[in-house]
Each structure stands twice: as structure tokens, then as C-alpha cells.
Structure 1
Amino acid sequence: MMSSVTQYPATLSVDYQDKPRDRVNVAFRLLMIIPVAIILSLISGGSYKYTIDHITYSAGNAGGIIILATVLMILFQQRYPKWWFDWNLALSRFSYRFISYLTLLRDEYPSTDEEQSVHLNLVYPNVKTDLNRWMPLFKWFLAIPHYILLAFLGFAAFICTIFAWFTIVFTGKYPKSLFDFVVGVLRWGLRVSAYSSLLITDIYPPFSLEP
């Protein structure tokens, strides 16, 4: 089932900064983002290895988007525990604040809990009426066309971000057209995630960058 863009149960918008950008902040963004990148990695299920007396140990961190367990709950019990949804929503919001900072869309340092200027919302589903219990088994396959397009769009957004870095450093402005394109790619990716991994909807994501 195809949805119109305005009805899709996953939304994302980022406020555009009209005032002159912080050129020093932007110039050293890859260094400044390291602390919050470490935090995001730790709560997203990252792992690391360390060696003591020539013995290598592995350590992992519980966390990340709850996907497989949600698939099983929808499949066998037709339930999506609300606290799982709340965790996925909070982690998604933090992740997109991080991405917005990394891609130079905003200058404020990503907060772990405050919304700031990145507005992401997901609609909590009524599993028995809104979701087909068997769909989670196939959504990853049905979303393949989106994955292919997003690979190209993501590369284009990367090039736009590099160009925006030079533009901001020399002029203090992020070109609005490039800003809208990068936000559109992030929005498209969120909708695909809402469908195939967050599992909040069976409505097929629109092929669109629009809000």
C-alpha cells in the first residue's frame, strides 16, 4: 500500500539557520563530534576488544534499535511493547541530532534528550489493526529498491556536505537548496527505517524527499 507523503507515520524536519554559521565550529566538526560519537556508539550496541596478559577479551554494550525481538512479538503475540517503541523513538531522535550535526545542518552540540532543532516523530502503532503480523518477515526484501536509491542519494548528500563545509567556512552560510536536499535524504531514510526496521507501519514508504 502506497502512502501520500503527508500521511506517513514517520516525520522529520530540521530548522534552517538563517543567522551566520559558526565557522570555527564547522571547520573542526570532525574533531568536535568525537565525544558524542563515542556515547552514541556505546548506547547503540557497539563492542570493543582489549588484551590482558596476551589474552583478548571482547566486551559489548546492550542497546541499539530493538528489531528482532519486535519482529517476534508482532509475529507471535501481535504486540509492540510501548517501552520498546519509546526506546526506539528516543534513540532515533538522538541519532538524527547526531547526524544533523555531523552533516553540518546545525551548530548546536547534539543533546542526548532535548529535541533542539531536529524534529522527529513516529506514530505508535495499534498492532492488531495497523500491522500485518507476517509483514516483518518480508519488509527487508520489499524495501530493497529504497536501499539502492538511498545508496546513491546518500553519496550525493555526502558530496553536498563537503561542498557545504567549504561554503560555510568561507561565507558563513549553508546553501538552502543543499540543506533541503540533505534533510530530504535523511527524511527518506527515516521513512524506510520506520517501515523495515522500526516496524511501526505497513504503509510502503513514498519515493520522495518532500516533508
Structure 2
Amino acid sequence: MSVVAYPVRVDGTLEEPLSRWLWLVKWLLAIPHLLVLFLLWIAFAVLSVVAFFAILFTGHYPRRIFDFNVGVLRWWWRVQFYAYGALGTDRYPPFTLRDVPSYPAHLEVKYPEHLSRGLVLVKWWLLAIPHYLVVGFFVGAGTSYASRADDRAWGWSGGLVGLLVVVAAVVLLFTGRYPRPVFDLVLGMNRWALRVAAYAGLMVDQYPPFRLDLGGDDPGTTELHEPLLPAGPGTFGPASTTDATGGMSTTEAGEQRDRS
């Protein structure tokens, strides 16, 4: 059965062997990233409002804002992949909005040449509600603490992803191995959530599929091969980077592979 391509690509490669113990302190190691991401998400929200009106009046998502917002999603995914969204690598995430080819977690969104001016009014809240319910089940809202006058109790509301990552961490602690089926399922649920995030962030008009694409390489999309930010600091925009394909850009290499 053929799979319809979706313009959001989320990949992750499980890097083994993983440390049996490092996951115990990743919450501490991730704090610098979380502080930066707190500011980036504020900027993301403000710029999404600007993009909303730009799409409403022109049908276009401003390219520089698009590249920045995709970079925020990409940064968030790398941190989640390193920390308790997947525990897929022990390599510390880079502090950059750009894609880092050598890092095992990647996120790409194909830039839309035109977006519906009508859909922008409803897709981020009304149309996305069914997906919000699914993603809420997958991701949850963390651990909650319930307190009453006579007793206290911890209640788990971290979602299925959090629960499975805890299971994987315990197995890793005692065996030194990450159960591959658990990793594939966790990655599939993160992939679903990030597709919905891109849709709700007004980056795509195509409705996210109700499909759990498992495994490291995203089977539900085409190869995009489009670095969204240039190597130089302080600027945002599309860029081409050379690789081992005779000096051609990754975008050109991807197009040549598609033609072949």
C-alpha cells in the first residue's frame, strides 16, 4: 500500500550503545536548553501571530519567520530526543536552529509556496481538535502532584510517550540495551505530535494523517533535503550545503535522487 507524502519530516536514529546511567541526570543537563527554548517559544508564538495575518491577507507565510519557527521545532525535537521524549542518544544537542546532519535527530518542513487564506482561520483550533486529543494521550502534561488534607499522592499524566520512555530507561539500566520496538513506537508518537505542531503552527495546509509511522526514517514523507537556515550566524533563510555528491547542494542531490 502506497503512503501519501506529507511535507513534515521527522527522523531519529537510535545511537547505541547508550549509557546505563546518563539518563538519570539528563533532566539537569537539559536545563540550559530549556531556558533557551522558553524564550524561543515566546518568539515562536509572537511570530506565529504575525504569520497568521500575513497568510490571511496575502496567502503567504513570510519565509524568514517560517525558517525561524521551523528551527524552534527542530531545536525542541533534538532536546526531546536527547532527554525524556525519547532518550535516543547520549550526544548533547547543539545550540542552533539549523539542521545538523551529524546529529541523530532531524526535522524538516517543506516551505509552502501558497497557503489557504480561509483555512488559517480554523485549522489551528477547530480542525486540529481531533489531533489534539490524540497527541494529548501520547504526550500528556507531565507528572502531577495531588494533595489532600489527609494524604498526598503522585499521579502520572505524562502520556504514553513518557511511560514508555520510563520503561525503556529501566530496561537500559539493567541490560544496557534500549528495546527497539519501544523506540520505534515512541518515535512514531513524537512524529505524529510534531506533524500536528507544524499544522497548528500554520506551516502546512495538508491535514496531518491519522497514521502512526514507526521507525527511525520517516516513511510517511518524501526526502526534503532543504536546510532552512544558512551556516552564518544572525541570518535566517534557505541555504544549500554541499555534500559528498560532487559538490552539489543537498537540495539538488535530493531532486536528482527523486528523478532517478
Report TM bin, short chain: 0.7 to 0.9
| Aligned pairs (5 A) from 1:1-211 | 5-17=3-15, 19-45=16-42, 63-65=43-45, 66-103=47-84, 104-113=87-96, 115=100, 116-127=103-114, 131-139=115-123, 140-154=125-139, 155-197=159-201, 199-210=202-213, 211=218
Aligned partners of 2:27 and 2:197: how far apart in 1? Answer: 26
**Secondary structure of the structure 1 residue equivalent to 2:106:** strand
Residue pair 1:10, 1:120 contacting (<8 A) in 2 also: yes
Q: Which amino acid aligns with 2:126?
A: F
Aligned partners of 2:107 and 2:129: how far apart in 1? Answer: 24
Q: Which amino acid aligns with 1:35?
A: P
Aligned partners of 2:3 and 2:204: how far apart in 1? Answer: 14
Question: Residue by residue, what CA displacement relative to the aligned partner does 1:134-182 show, whole Å, maximum 9, x if unpaired?
Answer: 1011102111011111111221111001111111122221111111111
**Secondary structure of the structure 1 residue equivalent to 2:173:** helix
Residue pair 2:23, 2:83 contacting (<8 A) in 1 also: no
Residue pair 1:43, 1:64 contacting (<8 A) in 2 also: yes
- Structure 1's unaligned 5+ residue stretches are 46-62
Aligned partners of 2:212 and 2:128: how far apart in 1? Answer: 16
**Secondary structure of the structure 2 residue equivalent to 1:119:** strand
Residue pair 1:164, 1:175 contacting (<8 A) in 2 also: yes
2:233 matched residue in structure 1: none
**Secondary structure of the structure 2 residue equivalent to 1:67:** helix
Structure having greater relative contact order (Cα 8 Å, sep ≥ 6): 1
- Structure 2's unaligned 5+ residue stretches are 140-158, 219-260
Runs of 4+ in 1 over 4 A off after TM superposition: none
Q: Report the aligned-residue RMSD.
A: 1.6
1:195 Cα deviation from its structure 2 partner: 1.5
1:55 matched residue in structure 2: none
Q: Which structure carries more helix by proportion?
A: 1
Residue pair 1:136, 1:196 contacting (<8 A) in 2 also: no
Residue pair 2:135, 2:193 contacting (<8 A) in 1 also: yes
Q: Which amino acid aligns with 1:134?
A: G
Q: Which amino acid aligns with 2:210?
A: F
Percent sequence identity over aligned pairs: 35
1:21 Cα deviation from its structure 2 partner: 0.8
Residue pair 1:10, 1:121 contacting (<8 A) in 2 also: yes
1:200 Cα deviation from its structure 2 partner: 2.2
1:6 Cα deviation from its structure 2 partner: 4.3
1:40 Cα deviation from its structure 2 partner: 1.6
Residue pair 1:20, 1:172 contacting (<8 A) in 2 also: yes
Q: Which amino acid aligns with 2:54?
A: M
1:56 matched residue in structure 2: none
Aligned partners of 1:38 and 1:78: how far apart in 2? Answer: 34
Q: How many residues align structurally?
A: 186
Aligned partners of 1:102 and 1:180: how far apart in 2? Answer: 16
**Secondary structure of the structure 2 residue equivalent to 1:132:** coil
